[in-house]
């Protein structure tokens, strides 16, 4: 349900129509950017609450906020109501999205500690498939009321509440056994993780992978028409099809990472994403769709691999809090990527310049996983003990 946020380009394009709200290209991206920016806030708070209390409670609260935020956005019926889209879809919906998102990512690693990459890939794969489910319904609802496309949020919000709360109510935490208790003694806390360079390197990988991929996701409907040569109906279909690759990439790359290694796979993901973006604006038709699919696969793959990488580096006890804080990279990349890409496209519609720059960023990011090394947890814990800190102050 929360993965429906990736269908925003359908709404953004509809809201720019003169007979609708007549928003500019930049204005139409603000609600989406705000939602992505708020994910970090919701996930960091939700992750800490989940580690201390009930995963079910955090998920329920997150879904309520997400559904209510989308419902509030449905009240935006004229150009002066942009603030309703930003407040409802962006601030409230984005915060709830972040709270709900972090729960399965952290919880399932505790249920399946031997297959953390694959199980988190499956979890966030559901998020990636969200646009596939939402896109056809959203296009149908928007077509029913083209002069007030935000009305579609009314029915989507109700569906998100009903189905999302049903799923959230079923979540339970695993029973902690003796072996698990022994294993968690070496796990790092969130403050300890923040003292390591690895936390910042992984966050940087996430931010740059998101910046590159979301620059396409935020404007794919328009790019499919202006660059790929597709009709509006064809572009709507492409948005839904590409979402399959977003979700599939999360599962597929996570499965590959369990066999080949997480950092190695992250290197390949960034390289492929960069090359595909550089080539994308020079293509049309099926080739355009194929390269866009590669970008979506790699964008989703970063989300499929990084949660288990963090769990492997820092331990699972505080996975919610640690990875929740790491999602600042998602929010930063999700805000900066569309802003930079939109500015580069400009009024002249220069997709070549925009996608070339974003592709170059992804290629430059290849250096980060190459220099990242596993965390020496014992050394980090020893350096953060009261005796070590006292000795350091005396010295």
Q: How does pLDDT run across 193-217, given as a tens digit for each residue? A: 999 999 999 999 999 999 999 889 8
What would the two tokens of residue 59 be?
């998920």
Average pLDDT over the chain, rounded to an integer: 87
DSSP-derived letter for residue 349 is T
pLDDT of amino acid 197: 94
Q: Is the four-CA dihedral 6, 342, 69, 205 of positive or negative sign?
A: positive
Is pTM beyond 0.85 here? no
CA 286 to CA 387: how far, in whole Å?
63
Domains in the chain, start-ordered, CATH in brackets? 2-170+185-381 (1.20.1250.20)
Residue 385 has pLDDT above 90, yes or no: no
Q: Which pLDDT tens digit goes with each residue over 87-145?
A: 999 999 999 999 999 999 888 888 998 888 889 888 888 887 887 788 888 888 988 88
Burial 70-105, CB ≥16 within 10 A → b, else e: bbbbbebbeeebbebbbbbbbbbbbbbbbbbbbbbb
CA 4 to CA 10: how far, in whole Å?
11
Q: Which pLDDT tens digit goes with each residue over 37-89?
A: 899 899 999 988 887 778 899 999 999 999 999 999 999 988 788 999 999 99
């Amino acid at each position: 349900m929360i993965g429906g946020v990736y269908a925003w380009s359908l709404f953004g394009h509809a809201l720019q129509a003169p007979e609708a709200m007549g928003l500019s290209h930049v204005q139409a991206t603000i609600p989406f950017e705000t939602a992505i920016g708020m994910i970090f806030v919701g996930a960091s708070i939700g992750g800490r609450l989940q580690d201390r209390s009930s995963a079910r409670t955090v998920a329920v609260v997150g879904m309520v906020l997400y559904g209510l935020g989308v419902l509030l956005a449905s009240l935006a019926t004229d150009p002066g109501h942009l603030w309703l889209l930003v407040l409802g879809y962006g601030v409230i919906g984005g915060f709830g999205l972040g709270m709900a998102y972090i729960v399965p990512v952290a919880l399932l690693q505790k249920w399946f500690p031997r297959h953390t990459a694959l199980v988190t890939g499956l979890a966030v794969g559901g998020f990636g498939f969200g646009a596939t489910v939402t896109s056809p319904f959203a296009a149908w609802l928007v077509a029913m009321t083209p002069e007030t496309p935000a009305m579609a949020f009314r029915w989507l919000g109700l569906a998100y509440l009903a189905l999302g709360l049903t799923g959230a109510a079923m979540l339970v935490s695993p029973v902690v056994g003796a072996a698990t208790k022994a294993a968690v003694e070496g796990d790092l806390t969130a403050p300890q993780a923040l003292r390591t360079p690895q936390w910042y390197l992984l966050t940087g990988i996430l931010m740059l992978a998101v910046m590159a991929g979301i620059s396409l996701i935020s404007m794919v409907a328009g790019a499919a028409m202006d660059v790929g040569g597709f009709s509006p109906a064809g572009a709507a279909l492409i948005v839904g099809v590409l979402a399959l690759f977003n979700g599939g990439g999360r599962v597929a790359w996570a499965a590959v990472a369990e066999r080949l290694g997480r950092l190695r796979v992250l290197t390949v993901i960034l390289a492929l994403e960069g090359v595909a973006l550089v080539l994308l604006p020079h293509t049309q038709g099926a080739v355009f769709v194929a390269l866009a699919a590669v970008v979506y696969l790699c964008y989703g793959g970063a989300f499929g691999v990084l949660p288990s990488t963090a769990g492997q580096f820092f331990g699972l006890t505080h996975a919610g809090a640690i990875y929740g804080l790491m999602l600042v990279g998602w929010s930063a990349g999700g805000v900066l990527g569309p802003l930079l890409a939109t500015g580069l496209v400009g009024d002249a519609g220069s997709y070549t310049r925009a996608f070339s720059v974003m592709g170059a960023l992804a290629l430059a990011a290849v250096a980060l996983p190459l220099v990242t090394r596993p965390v020496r947890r014992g050394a980090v814990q020893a350096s953060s003990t009261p005796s070590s800190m006292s000795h350091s102050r005396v010295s």
